[in-house]
Structure 1
Amino acid sequence: MNPSPSIVDTLSQMFSQSLQVLRRPSVATFEEFEGRGTLREALLYVAVAAVLVGLLGLAVGPGGFLRSVAGSVLGFLVFTYLVYYVGRSQGGSGNLDQVAYSFALFWAPINVAVALLGLLLVLTLIGIFLLPLLAVAALGVNVYFAYLAVQASMNLREGGRVWLTLLAAFVGTLVVSLVLATL
């Protein structure tokens, strides 16, 4: 019986897979890794990234660290569940583990990189004016990788079904976030 890998081994392995996904973005690259982890590993990876992003945010000012981390992890969970649910209704055949693991591979490193770049921009006077551009670029990159991840993890190839899945997941996550913000 093989012992299960340590948390450090799991995170190291996922980071290595993330680098490959980011360097070779394609449906085939996502398919190479989608079955190598579960929702549990995906949430661990996302939680670590959320803590890193939260710590980088503390450099700008205190406040909201726990809410930010919890919101980030919960938002990831809601979004990936909705991708799975809506993707299945569109004829997709993937499972929740594949969806969450695929999304975690790009979501975690991109969010940490954007937070780091954002911090660097805030620290420079001129850089503050570039923050909106960074936000738009981050959105574009996330949408691109999400499109590939849905195709791979849900086995959906028709563009309309992929876009409908992503749009429904986005709207559903936005609604959940707004409801939670009012509590």
Structure 2
Amino acid sequence: MPVIAIAAPQPATGDLAAVQHHLRSVETMTAAFSQTDRAGKVLTGVLTLKKPGKIRFQYEKGVPILIVGDGHALTFIDYSVKQVQRWPIGNSPLAVLLNPYRDMTKFAKIVPGIDPRILSVEAYDPKHPEYGRITLVFIRNAAAPGGLMLQGWVALDSQNNRTTIRLSNQQFNAPVSDRTFNWNDPRRNSPKN
């Protein structure tokens, strides 16, 4: 009986390996963010990330929305209309940030650029275009985890709606309480995870 060799997944190499190393080196991150939607409207706030799977977009005072990832699902809360929407984290382009152990070679590629200090990575699931795509933008920075500093990303949803996130004042691997990812359910006014 012939022996059949099964090819092992190829590890990421070069710049893609550097991105994967950075993502695996970041256990927590806080940053100020500015979000620009397709109409040019800009919102600001604070992003808090804790791996695996936890993220919080706390918008500026007066903006009645909140986005929280609890490790399993992303929840969009609109307090002005008391609406809550949930979807699996794996169905979101943000999964690339929240699950550092996925094999990036299966869903990400380096986007060629002019400035060698800037590194862009486009990630999407070709089997599920409805999940959208994300282009992460890093700048080479020896003082940052893995030698890269996440500057932000551009997310494109399945309807081609573009959202741009720019980060500043990034802080890495400081303690972050799991309670940071609790939220008040506007339908019941009780804390949720």
Q: Same fold (TM over 0.5)?
A: no
More strand by share: 2
Higher RCO, 1 vs 2 (CA within 8 Å, ≥6 residues apart) = 1
What's the TM-score once normalised by structure 1's chain length?
0.28
